Amino acid sequence: MQTQEQIVYQGQFGTFTLDDHDRQGVIVYRTGLAIAALSFAIAAGFAFLQNYAWITPLYFIFWAALGVSLFTIHIYLKPLHLALQAFWAIGGIASIALLFMSSEPLGLYVYQHPIWIFGVGFTFAALTGIFFKEAVCFNRFETKLLTPIVPLLLLGHLTGWLPTSWEQALLGGWAVLFVIFAMRKSIQSIPPDIGDKSVFEYLKTQSEKRESN
């Protein structure tokens, strides 16, 4: 049986090809985003209905799916990639701690005690990092809006200067734009999400040289 000829791409530091592992990684990344977006949108809907009981399990589904995406996303700057993963972990630890500290639903407790945004908010800082990366790399209108919406809503609630109507509008916009982002990612060509593999190889080689010296 004749195998399909691989496409050779010209990168900044040489040529490279894409294999099945590369493509599978992108599919997993996008699947994580889709699950995160859907669970967040449903949780936002429950928040508008003031039905807070389901927000806790939906949040942890969102958090786990976001983690999958953060461990499969392609980011050239390794320190930034590690920082986003660390933010995700800190947010998760803070969220789990809240489960043992309060019998109230997680979303309601954080809403009533905004100081906990300093902990749980790290999860959304990691999400904002993805939005920023996608805005820079792909010039997406929804991620250009999401990048400021997320910190504006969280910091606005933390400081208490945002009216409730504004918070609701920002939350609704966040949920809708997040779903649009995930849907558009699902139909995007796969190679751009992998990026220039020659850059990753170059950075890996440079790191190994520094460690050997």
Q: Note the pLDDT tens digit of each residue in 35-75.
A: 999 999 999 999 999 999 999 999 999 999 999 999 999 88
pLDDT at 1 over 60: no
pLDDT tens per residue, range 131-142: 999 999 999 999
The better pLDDT of the pair 210, 76 is held by 76
Reported as a single tens digit per residue, the pLDDT across 89-121 is 999 999 999 999 988 999 999 999 999 999 999
* Across 140-153, average pLDDT: 97
Q: Is the pLDDT of residue 3 over 50?
A: no
14: β partners: 11
Contacts 24+ apart (CB under 8 A), 16-25: 16/196, 16/197, 16/198, 16/201, 18/190, 18/191, 18/194, 18/197, 22/194, 22/197, 23/190, 23/194, 25/72, 25/74, 25/194
DSSP class of residue 146? H
The answer to whether the predicted template modeling score (pTM) of the entire model surpasses 0.85 is yes
CA torsion angle 66 47 122 103 (round to 10): -110
Percentage of residues in the chain having pLDDT higher than 70: 85
More confident residue, 77 or 181: 181
Q: In this model, does residue 14 exceed pLDDT 90?
A: no
Q: Where are the domains of the chain?
A: 22-193
* Distance from C-alpha of 162 to C-alpha of 149, rounded to nearest angstrom: 12
Give the up-direction half-sphere exposure of residue 196: CA atoms within 13 A in the CB hemisphere: 13
